[in-house]
A and B are shown apart, each in its own frame.
Chain A
Amino acid sequence: NAGVTQTPKFQVLKTGQSMTLQCAQDMNHEYMSWYRQDPGMGLRLIHYSVGAGITDQGEVPNGYNVSRSTTEDFPLRLLSAAPSQTSVYFCASNRNFGDTEAFFGQGTRLTVV
């Protein structure tokens, strides 16, 4: 019963590098989302998906891409990492849109130097 699994747990990138943060859920949830958490800023929504093949932007989408080719996976891509993207990233899934119980992964702590 894994729930939401994020990899890696920690990552250090150099400015300009690209990478993909992985997120997988085994609960057959339709709705998935990515948040970033910064001190004093709370959780801010980056992108979300209401189902396979459908994605949309959240509050802070710039510099990030997502895709949802399967129900289970929702990877987040950093196109060209910048120090401002240093943060803790959380992936979450909900049974469906409108279901307010979000299940979160353990997070990825990303540092961009």
Chain B
Amino acid sequence: TQLLEQSPQFLSIQEGENLTVYCNSSSVFSSLQWYRQEPGEGPVLLVTVVTGGEVKKLKRLTFQFGDARKDSSLHITAAQPGDTGLYLCAGLSGYALNFGKGTSLLVTP
């Protein structure tokens, strides 16, 4: 199993602040995915990054895949309370998606 380490584990910020969440591995992945999970719900896919160095934007969220395809980051600009949730990175390992432990984000008004 290829391990995905996420940091920070918890993040509590105020509305309007910027933040970055990291996902690191010692292994190379063909692609990495970011999911968001809200309380009482299953994770929902936000984005897939495939090419080393790739940057994808989803409104105020910016996703980057490292050049060596071993790490990824998620940057949120001007966070809003609606961004609150658990952010999970995942990568295909063998026959299954391997998930990081997640970053729990709380955005307060």
Binding site for B on A (CB under 8 A): 4, 33, 35, 40-45, 48, 50, 56, 58-59, 90, 92, 97-98, 100-102, 104-107
Which residues of B are found within 8 Å of A35, using beta-carbon distances? 99
A100–B40 touching, CB < 8 Å: no
* Chain A CB within 8 A of B31 CB: yes
Chain A CB within 8 A of B96 CB = yes
Residues of B within 8 A of A (CB): 1, 31, 33, 35, 40-45, 48, 88, 90, 92, 95-102
Residues of A close to B95: CB separation below 8 A? 48, 50, 56, 97
- With contacts A33-B97, A42-B100 known, what are 12 further pairs, Cβ within 8 A? A35-B99, A42-B88, A43-B43, A45-B96, A56-B95, A92-B42, A100-B33, A101-B48, A102-B90, A104-B43, A106-B41, A107-B41
Are A33 and B96 neighbours in the complex by a CB distance under 8 Å?
yes
**A33 cross-chain contacts in B, Cβ below 8 A:** 96-97
**CB pair A48 B96 closer than 8 Å:** yes
Kindly count the residue-residue contacts between A and B in the assembled complex, taking CB atoms under 8 Å apart.
53
**Is B1's CB under 8 angstroms from A59's CB?**
yes
Is A104's CB under 8 angstroms from B42's CB? yes
CB distance B42 to A107 under 8 Å?
yes
The residue that B45 contacts in the complex, of A45, A98, A101, with Cβ under 8 A, is: A101
The distance from the CB of B36 to the nearest CB of chain A, in whole angstroms, is 11
Could you list 17 examples of A-B contacts with CB < 8 Å? A4-B42, A33-B96, A35-B99, A40-B101, A43-B88, A43-B99, A45-B97, A97-B95, A100-B33, A100-B90, A101-B33, A102-B43, A104-B43, A104-B44, A106-B40, A106-B42, A107-B40
